[in-house]
Structure 1
Amino acid sequence: MTNNQMNEMHQNPSYEWKLKILILTWEYPPNVVGGLSRHVYGLSVHLAQLGHAVHVVTAGNGSLPVYEKSNGVHIHRVTPLNTEDDDFLDWVAGLNLAMSYLAEKIAEEITFDIIHAHDWLVGASALTLTDILSIPLLTTIHATEYGRNNGIHTDMQRFINEKERQIISESDQIIVCSHYMREELLTNFYLTEEKIAIVPNGIEQVDVKEDLIEIYPFLKNRKYVFSVGRMVREKGFETMIEAAQIAKESGREIYFVIAGKGPMLERYRKLVSEQKLVHFVAFIGYVTDVERNALLMKSEIAVFPSLYEPFGIVALEAMILGKPTIVSETGGLKGIVNHLKTGLLMVPGDAQSLIKNIDFFLQNPNHAMEIGEKGRKIVTSLYGWKRIASQTVKVIEETLLNKQGNLNEISKK
């Protein structure tokens, strides 16, 4: 962006400059590991729809094209230099080397205005490129190692925490998805408030068409409570197993269906078997987005019992379908749900609290429907991707203006 364009932006609020944005992310659909890929996808597509040139550099998986343009987004995929390495940190290092090399080549043809990095996993390439290309670095922090583990306890956690600290410190601007994450960064990374902008995750309205019974015949004529997420401790699924035990002992007819993959999936399945809860809870493993939406739509209640959740996109996915939703009163979730108005809040890790909230919805079906509808309306109005993309553009423009202003001050000295 030239000085003249900067001046025009500053002097004329209605001025719209079409940005050239380089996005760095370790995952991007259809290569999906967690919620980060869906976030980057939604943001990238809607930035492109606003007329900006968006180039995403990400990891490939061997079967995807090295370049394609999809939904207006230029997608460049790399093969990590240590692609066969079992050590995750070595794999990440190889990914960053490959991303830096490719992005530098792309920048020989395109003059980017800004780099937008997503989490520490692409931090090395982001810092290298911002130095080589002499352009600002905007970083979105989706979660922190400290928050995921309630502290830093191991060498691996210390390494990741230091990488987070480095990219947070050297970025020109930081985006987080919630007030909770803002406070977490202010507390643990000693930033100034001006350096952090809050831009929530987004969600699209979905059209559910899938025939659930053909996929999961065991759910035919069965009412169930549904949850989905990565099978890791911080998602709180052990609380749902405890709630299933309470349901069994108290004679409640509550059936829990939990979808998702991750390192703790088999442990949870083993717990269900050992506690003889197979008639009360089912861990069904990985589901596609279409299957997830169908499972949500047919459920009585959606539950997200996370112990740590920077934002909680899964809650939006349930609420946009009008589902009565229960979430933990923690992290970004408590900022999404207004208790007894757009959903219910449970005590994190407390199975009795979860059962109490489930009972409330089941015993008050009309009230549950009203709460579900209010939740749908608030999600539709506040978390649409077009709105989120526009907010992100404003942050980018402010970052560019601040960077140029700082450079001008330096040049005067």
Structure 2
Amino acid sequence: MRVLMVSWEYPPVVVGGLGRHVHALATELAAAGHEVVVLSRQPAGTDATTHPTTDDVLDGVRVLRVAEDPPHLEFERDLVAWTLAMGHGMLRAALTRLAPWRPDVVHAHDWLVAHPAIALADVLEVPLVATIHATEAGRHAGWLSSPLSQQVHSAEWWLAQRADTLITCSAAMRSEVAELFEVDPEPIVVLHNGIAPRRWRASTARVRAVRERYAPGGAPVLLYLGRLEYEKGVQDLIAALPRIRRAHPGTRLVIAGTGTAHDQLVEAVAAHRVRRGVTFTGHLPDADLSALLRSADAVVLPSRYEPFGIVALEAAAAGAPLVASTAGGLGEVVLDRETGLSFRPGDVPGLAAAVGTVLSDPRAAARRARAARKRLGSAFEWSGIAAATAAVYAGAARGAATAHGRPKIPTGNAFGRA
């Protein structure tokens, strides 16, 4: 099939897990013989003179990467205007540079590309498939109090309503999307994210060096890997650390990642008096991450909201013991007492107890880690996920054109919770 993927991030422009997901899916589809074009963007803050529009074939995928237009718009300051400008640039580039090539299907990844993806599907008269990777309401525990959140929610609603076929990365996300955007959950297809296990290998010498760097003297090492945002729950892990260190003296926590909550987390470390036990590494290259994952006594994922939890797959691929909350898709990725240990989101004592169990019984933790790694090949292998996605494309049918009004914005909690 001829597939046009529209994504606001694609390596080397990566903000979160979405960019890696689209890259893995696109390259796997191309390897299977499908003709894939990815429509994406140049880095934010650049322009057409420093980073002009490019059209290249990378790993078998044609990547049309669109330059930013001249207006001074910033992602952090002008999110909606910036997104609309990006969409306009994508639409112009696709219509002027891709012809006479024509896709059989347009695949949109999240609300930021709703405008160009919908327009291209309409103009080209082909089915629109949309993957909803996360929701604004989910990120804010159901509250849509700010004008920006309401704007994002309405764009998500439009994409969900307009798509001919919807995909989510977990059953939890399917329920969330159906409730928030007033769509029937039955036709929504659940396709998990995948992982390439060999990517996370590291030599014994490198693992030993990394462990000595972050925990000299053989102290237990806990690792959090991911974005530093409130919904990721890192504040709960920091709050649990004093309790963990009382039971297991010297335990070190390594926090790898960047995000808007960084300064608040530094303050939390000071407030809980664990500054000697916490290291913030910032962004790390994959080679260092591989060694860090393999050196950890436990990878802890304390999310309060998590559509899927691809870091759990990365930890499993590296053979690291997992401790994770049951938030969203994490409850489907980490099977409690089979492939890891789980706790309720926000439950600090439960988090501390689960980590303590791992540190007290490393043999059992290693058995669960082996089971998690074994499960990757059956449930999270990219070739199978790509084949299932291609089947979705083949079955997608273009619906009748429908005009949509504006959705009603909930005045209370969007999930009906107080």
TM-score by length of 1: 0.89
Number of positions where the alignment pairs a residue of Structure 1 with one of Structure 2: 386
Alignment of 1:11-410 (within 5 A): 19-61=1-43, 62=46, 66-81=54-69, 84-86=72-74, 87-151=78-142, 152-205=144-197, 206-209=199-202, 211=206, 213=209, 217-222=213-218, 223-248=220-245, 252-399=249-396, 402-403=397-398
Equivalent residues of 1:328, 1:347 under 8 A apart: yes
Q: CA shift at 1:274, angstroms? A: 4.1
User: 1:183 offset after TM fit, Å?
Assistant: 0.4
Contact 2:39 2:63 in 1 (8 A): yes
Please give the alpha-carbon distance, in whole angstroms, between the structure 1 residues aligned to 2:118 and 2:70: 20
Q: How far 1:241 sits from its partner (Å)?
A: 0.7
CA 1:214–1:257: 2 relative to 1, 3 Å: closer
Deviation at 1:395, TM superposition (A): 0.5
Counterpart contact for 2:322–2:341, Cα < 8 Å: yes
Note the alpha carbon deviations across 1:159-201, whole angstroms, 9 max, x for none: 0000001111111111000000000011111112343111110
Sequence identity (%): 32
Are residues 374 and 218 of structure 1, via their aligned partners in 2, closer, same or farther at CA, if it must alter by over 3 Å?
A: closer
Instruction: Give secondary structure in 1 for the equivalent of 2:237.
Output: helix
Contact kept, 8 Å, 1:81 with 1:97, in 2: the verdict is no
Instruction: Name the aligned partner's letter for residue 295 of structure 1.
Output: L
CA distance in 2: counterparts of 1:70 and 1:270, whole angstroms: 43
Tell me the SS of whatever aligns to 1:39.
helix
**Runs of 4+ off more than 6 Å:** none
Structure 1, gaps ≥5 residues long: 1-18, 408-413
Q: Per the alignment, in what secondary structure is the counterpart of residue 398 of structure 2?
A: helix
1:305 deviates by 0.5
Determine which structure has greater relative contact order: mean sequence separation of CA pairs < 8 Å that are 6+ residues apart, divided by chain length.
2
Q: How far apart are the structure 2 equivalents of 1:336 and 1:108?
A: 41
Query: CA separation of 1:153/1:299 partners in 2, compared to 1, >3 Å: closer, same or farther?
Result: same
Q: 1:247 Cα deviation (Å)? A: 3.0
CA–CA separation in structure 2 for the residues paired with 1:307 and 1:215: 28
**Unpaired stretches in structure 2, ≥5 consecutive residues:** 402-418
Quote the offset at 1:276 in angstroms. Answer: 2.6
C-alpha RMSD of the superposition: 1.9
The amino acid that maps onto 1:331 is G
Q: Read off the aligned partner of 2:11 and give its amino acid letter.
A: P
TM-score relative to the length of structure 2: 0.88
1:411 corresponding residue in structure 2: none
The structural deviation recorded for 1:291 is 1.7
- Report what 1:10 is aligned to: none
Whichever residue aligns with residue 87 of structure 2, its letter is N
Moved more, 206-215 or 382-391: 206-215
Secondary structure class of the residue paired with 2:39: strand
How far 1:203 sits from its partner (Å)? 0.4
Question: Are the aligned partners of 1:200 and 1:388 in contact in 2 as well (CA < 8 Å)?
Answer: yes
- Specify the SS of the correspondent of 1:403: coil
8 Å CA contact 1:82–1:90 kept in 2: the answer is no
Distance (whole Å) between structure 1 residues aligned to residue 240 and residue 189 of structure 2: 38
Alpha-carbon offset, residue 140 of structure 1: 0.4
CA 1:343–1:215 in 2, change beyond 3 Å: closer, same or farther?
Answer: closer
SS in 2 for 1:195: coil
